Amino acid sequence: MELIADTTFLIGLWRKQSWAVSFAKSNSHRSLILPWVVLGEFWHGALMAGHDPEIVERFLAMGLPSNDACAVVPAYARICKQLQESGFYKNIGQNDLWIAAVGITRDAPLVTRNRRHFEKIAGLKLEVLVPD
C-alpha cells in the first residue's frame, strides 16, 4: 500500500523529529509517494535554508516521485469545484489542492500534520500525525 507524503511530513523526517521517524519506521513496508508539488515545496525550503543540494537529492530519493498530471488534473478540478461550492476554497492553498488530488487519484492516505487544510476534501484519506 502507498502513502502520499505532504511537505510537513518530509520536514519532520528531514529534522529527524521523533513523530515522523517513528511513523516512517512503523510503515517502512509501504511505498512513499512524493507529489511533484511536495518536491517543489521541499526543494524551495531547503535551498532557502542553504542546505547542500546533493544531500537534499539523496534524502528525497527515499520516495517515488508522482508526476502523472493526466490523472491528477481532473481530480484537482473536482476538488476545487467542491470547495468553491462549500465556501472553503479560499482557506486552502493551491499547492495543497494539488497534493490532495494526488492522494485521491492514487486512492492512498496523505501523511500530514496539517489536518485543517485537508479534512474538508471529500474522498481524501488522511494519516494525521501529531508531534510527541
Position 88 pLDDT exceeds 80 = no
Number of Cβ atoms within 10 Å of the Cβ of 8: 17
pTM, rounded to two decimals: 0.90
Integer Cα distance of 130 and 71 in angstroms: 31
In CATH terms, the fold of domain 2-128 is Rossmann fold (3.40.50)
Position 97 pLDDT exceeds 70 = yes
Integer Cα distance of 96 and 98 in angstroms: 5
| pLDDT for the residue 132 | 58
Nearest CA to 127 among 1, 3, 40, 2? 3
Position 104 pLDDT exceeds 70 = yes
Summarize the confidence of residues 124-132 as an average pLDDT: 87
Higher pLDDT pick, 52 / 131: 52
pLDDT tier at 63 (50, 70, 90 boundaries)? very high
